[in-house]
Amino acid sequence: MKHLTGKEAGLVLCSECHSIHHNLTEVELQCSCCGADLHQRKPNSLNRTWALLITSMILFIPANTLTIMNVAYFGQDDPSTIIGGVVLLLQLGSYSVAFVVFVASVIVPVFKMIGILMILLSLKFNINMSERQRIRMFRFIEFIGRWSMLDIFVISILAALVNISGVAVITAGAAATAFGSVVVLTMLAANSFDTRLLWDYSATDNHLDK
């Protein structure tokens, strides 16, 4: 049986207080219950997500190639990149922490960007994928996204703590800005994506088949 959506029934859900509105005119765009803006779907959802995703992908390159942290130990500079920091942890013998940092600052952002890209491409080229599978992936992406802030926090803690001039000084590098932007932009990209579009697109397909 074909499912009926709120859009087809002419109903609009308030994204904030979850009250359902009907018989809305074009001008009436505010929820009468909580005052939030009402939209059938998030406005320009796909365009916004594409823009934010592409920007974060571009910024991911300097985030990984430039120095993220500089350790000056007795006057000797030792700049390191994200991967360099992981390698250092491995050399120190703390494999579990190295694994956590590697997952948070390399695997998570890459997985996030590829995941959102896959969902956007599947909508763009009408690739037949299960909606349930895609929404599971999207929820996972939303859930893990914030954990890539780990590296930024580590740098800010180390920079504040190891600040004994002449002995050891840790300073942030240019990649920190780039990496921070990547994290924020991918979070915004996930936020601006409207998951209901997954079913909208497959529904139009069903219509065309008949």
Tokens of 112: 């996030």
Report if residue 133 touches other proteins, rule: CB under 8 A. no
What's the CA angle centered on 60, arms 152 and 101, to 5 degrees? 40
107 binds other proteins (CB under 8 A): no
Close Cβ partners of 142 (under 8 Å, ≥ 6 residues apart):
190
Check residue 132 for interaction with other proteins (CB under 8 A): yes
* Contact between 20 and other proteins per CB under 8 A: yes
User: Under 8 Å CB-to-CB from 19, ≥6 apart: which residues?
Assistant: 13, 31, 33, 34
Judged by CB under 8 A, the chain residues 139 through 198 that form the site for other proteins are 146-147, 149-150, 152-164, 167-168, 171-172, 176-177, 180-181, 183-184, 187, 195-196, 198
18: tokens are: 């979850």
Q: Considering only residues 27-86, where is the footprint of other proteins by CB under 8 A?
A: 28, 31-36, 73
- Nearer to other proteins by Cβ, of 125 and 132: the residue is 132
Residue 59 main-chain phi, psi, to 5 deg: -70, -20
- CB of 108: closest distance to other proteins in angstroms? 11
CB of 185 to other proteins, least distance (A): 12
Phi, psi of 32 (to 5 degrees): -75, -15
Residue of 97, 114, 121, 127 interacting with other proteins (CB under 8 A):
97
Q: Is 9 exposed, middle or buried, given 0-12, 13-18 or 19+ CB atoms closer than 10 A? A: exposed
Query: Which residue lies nearer to other proteins by CB, 2 or 128?
Result: 2
Q: Is 112 in the site for other proteins (CB under 8 A)?
A: no
